[in-house]
């Protein structure tokens, strides 16, 4: 029947006489590595770097002394924390709407 998987080994390239197979294998490996790198780059993109359009601001928080906004993106299930300075520049109307919806004014009672 043949040898068990434990007997599988890699033959040194110098011992092989099949340049077409070697080239096909190397191209396949390169494509796999390129695809993996593209996915990693895409996953590491956050906020406006992904090229998505903001839908609404879900919340705001102060992380490490910097105000950040949690933004929901159109056509995407994920939300990202974006620095408030950037949100103010890129989607000022959404920032204004968020504050209008969430700020409550206390009325002073007149005596």
Q: What is the largest CA-CA distance in the chain?
A: 99
How far, in Å, CA of 58 to CA of 80, rounded? 10
How far apart are the C-alpha atoms of 58 and 69, rounded to whole Å? 8
Query: CA gyration radius for the chain?
Result: 27
**Number of neighbours of residue 95 by Cβ within 10 angstroms:** 19
Residue 16 reports pLDDT greater than 70: yes
In a domain, 20, yes or no: no
pTM for the whole thing? 0.57
**Number of folded domains that form the chain:** 1
Residue 67, domain member (yes or no): yes
What order of strands is seen across the sheet that includes strand 66-73? 54-63, 66-73, 79-83
Q: Is the pLDDT of residue 73 over 80?
A: yes
Of the two residues 6 and 86, the one the predictor is more confident about is 86
Average pLDDT, rounded, for the chain = 87
- Tell me if 13 is assigned to some domain: no
What are φ and ψ of residue 42, in 5° steps? -65, -40
69 occurs within a structural domain: yes
With respect to residue 90, please indicate whether it lies within any of the assigned structural domains. Answer: yes
Q: Which domain holds residue 97?
A: 47-102
Q: Is residue 5 part of a domain?
A: no
110 is a domain residue: no
Distance from C-alpha of 22 to C-alpha of 31, rounded to nearest angstrom? 14
Phi, psi of 76 (to 5 degrees): -140, 140
Tell me, yes or no, whether 73 lies in a domain.
yes
Give the CATH number of the domain where residue 58 resides: 2.40.50.40
């Amino acid at each position: 029947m043949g040898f068990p998987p434990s007997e599988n080994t890699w033959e040194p390239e110098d011992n092989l006489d099949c340049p077409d197979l070697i080239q096909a294998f190397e191209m396949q490996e390169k494509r796999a590595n390129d695809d993996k790198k593209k996915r990693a780059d895409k996953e590491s993109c956050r906020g406006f770097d992904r090229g998505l359009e903001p839908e609404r601001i879900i919340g705001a928080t102060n992380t490490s002394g910097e105000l950040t906004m949690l933004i929901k993106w159109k056509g995407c299930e994920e939300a990202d924390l974006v620095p408030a300075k950037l949100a103010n520049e890129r989607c000022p109307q959404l920032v204004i709407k968020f504050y209008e919806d969430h700020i409550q004014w206390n009325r002073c009672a007149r005596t």
